[in-house]
Amino acid sequence: MSGKTNNTDIEEDNYLGQTIFNKYKLIRKLGQGSFGSIYQAQSKCSNKYYAIKLEDMRQEEFILEEESIFLTYLNIPGVPKFKTFGYSGSLIILVMELLGNSLDKIFENLPSRKMSIRCVCNIAYQLLCIFEVIHSYDIIHRDIKPANIAIGYEEKSKYIYLLDFGLAKKYRSSKTKKHFPFKIKNKLIGNARYSSINALEGGTQSRRDDLESLGYLLLYLLLGRLPWQGHISRSKEDKYYKIKEIKKSTTPEQLCQGLPYQFQKYVEYTRNLEYETDPDYNYLKNLFLTVLAHYNWNFDYYYDWDQVGLTISEIKDKEKDVENNIKNEINKNLYYEHEIPKMCRKISQLIEERKRSGYIFDQDRFIYEPEEESMFNLSSNQNENTLEKFFNTNSMTPYAYPRKLQTKKGSGCLPCQPKNYANGKEKDNDCCFIF
């Protein structure tokens, strides 16, 4: 990622074994990025596993706040599910669905350091489906690379996921569907190796840039390297300039030499897209389906690392889970203004509170998790002693600086009564940050 700095003031490994929000125990470090670190954690309540990102807000820049909003805003197949978000001391914390290995880790362990055409086409089709939905939500990713693509965890290991929305951005208005103005001399956002030519030239990015970047990523997986890799550079600017010039001078035909011609067609199509042009996602997906059909293969979730495709009946079952959901999301959102989910608004409120109060050293603050509200064992007969646990900083308090307290027994808020709090009545006041 461009423009992000690592924090060296803290030892991230010291967090292993600690418990976040008095609930999630960090049991294994999964990786380190410019945002901070990511861990595998286990819930003390459900014993389920989750991924937790930790980022120190003492850095010059931090991105987890924006990523948490994008994850809740999307909430679609192929994107990790949001769990909760909050603060502890100077740490920003994002809890989300745990996934399997990323493509860069898988790629490193392949003996040939390449992936087969069959495997790449299965990956390409799924990613294009995911991009079609994300773009229908008026969002672009802007950081396409193998490290940001992963397989699902355990029973979801046949699914491909797109990760890391810290650099994502809206490219047009959700209300008018009008693109934001095109500008030049922008700072490069994303990974230069896979970035589009337009992004390297400083142009404002849109859907075409995500798709062109995807093309370079697919070619990297197939060929093992790209022509602009391995050149000696004096500085980052010099490196970016050389990559840009080699990309511009390398024709799609040269880039895809020895591969099925559909890959050349993909690069040509995405390079020729205009800033506001609506991409033909069906055309692009059919390019890869055509390659599979040429070799008498199907889109069957086949990957080189397990070499087991699915049967026709298994594929139909998965299509019910994923493909139909994706189609419904596209049809539902393509022509309508997107309503901001309530969870996004709650996260925004929590961020605003953080900006006013600074680091949260005295207590944890995080977004309430509705699916686990039963663990609090709430009833309409709460008393003052029971209320204490909601304000005890040593317990898992789900509220962030409540501004309204219960005034009468069985009424008011606790500080807000969650949905379905008692007698089937839904209450959701705005006096604290609760979903």
In a domain, 70, yes or no: yes
Within this chain, do residues 146 and 92 fall inside the same structural domain, yes or no?
no
Centre a 10 Å sphere on the Cβ of residue 425 and count the other Cβ atoms it contains. 10
CA 85 to chain centre: 14
DSSP state of 390: H
- pLDDT, residue 423, reads 41
Within this chain, do residues 134 and 232 fall inside the same structural domain, yes or no?
yes
Question: CA–CA separation, 344 vs 35, rounded Å?
Answer: 21
Within this chain, do residues 251 and 356 fall inside the same structural domain, yes or no?
no
Task: Count how many domains the chain has.
Answer: 3
Question: CA–CA separation, 68 vs 348, rounded Å?
Answer: 10
Domain boundary among 311, 346, 367: 367
Question: CA–CA separation, 139 vs 136, rounded Å?
Answer: 7
CATH number at residue 50: 3.30.200.20
In a domain, 373, yes or no: no
Residue listed under structure tokens 């976040």: 20
Within this chain, do residues 12 and 48 fall inside the same structural domain, yes or no?
yes
pTM metric for this prediction: 0.80
Residue 301 identity: Y
- pLDDT, residue 344, reads 87
Residue listed under structure tokens 């699916």: 371
Within this chain, do residues 236 and 197 fall inside the same structural domain, yes or no?
yes
Within this chain, do residues 156 and 301 fall inside the same structural domain, yes or no?
yes
In a domain, 46, yes or no: yes
Within this chain, do residues 210 and 305 fall inside the same structural domain, yes or no?
yes
Within this chain, do residues 163 and 207 fall inside the same structural domain, yes or no?
yes
**143 annotated active-site:** yes
Within this chain, do residues 395 and 260 fall inside the same structural domain, yes or no?
no
Within this chain, do residues 230 and 346 fall inside the same structural domain, yes or no?
no
Q: Which two tokens stand for residue 145?
A: 């690379």
Map residue 70 onto helix, strand or coil: helix
| Residue 229 belongs to domain spanning | 103-333
Q: Which helix (H) or strand (E) holds 353?
A: helix 342-357
CATH number at residue 195: 1.10.510.10
In a domain, 374, yes or no: no
- Nearest residue to 344 (alpha-carbon basis) of 68, 139, 138: 68
In a domain, 66, yes or no: yes
- Nearest residue to 169 (alpha-carbon basis) of 204, 133, 127: 204
Catalytic residue among 56, 138, 143, 364: 143
In a domain, 308, yes or no: yes
Within this chain, do residues 114 and 245 fall inside the same structural domain, yes or no?
yes
- pLDDT, residue 362, reads 64
Within this chain, do residues 156 and 245 fall inside the same structural domain, yes or no?
yes
For residue range 299-334, list pLDDT tens digits in order.
Answer: 999 999 988 878 777 777 766 555 556 556 555 555
In a domain, 346, yes or no: yes
Residue positions counted in the chain: 435
Name the stretches of the chain with pLDDT < 50. 1-12, 335, 373-435
Q: What separation in angstroms does the CA of 342 have from each of 81, 173, 346, 347, 367?
A: 16, 19, 6, 9, 11
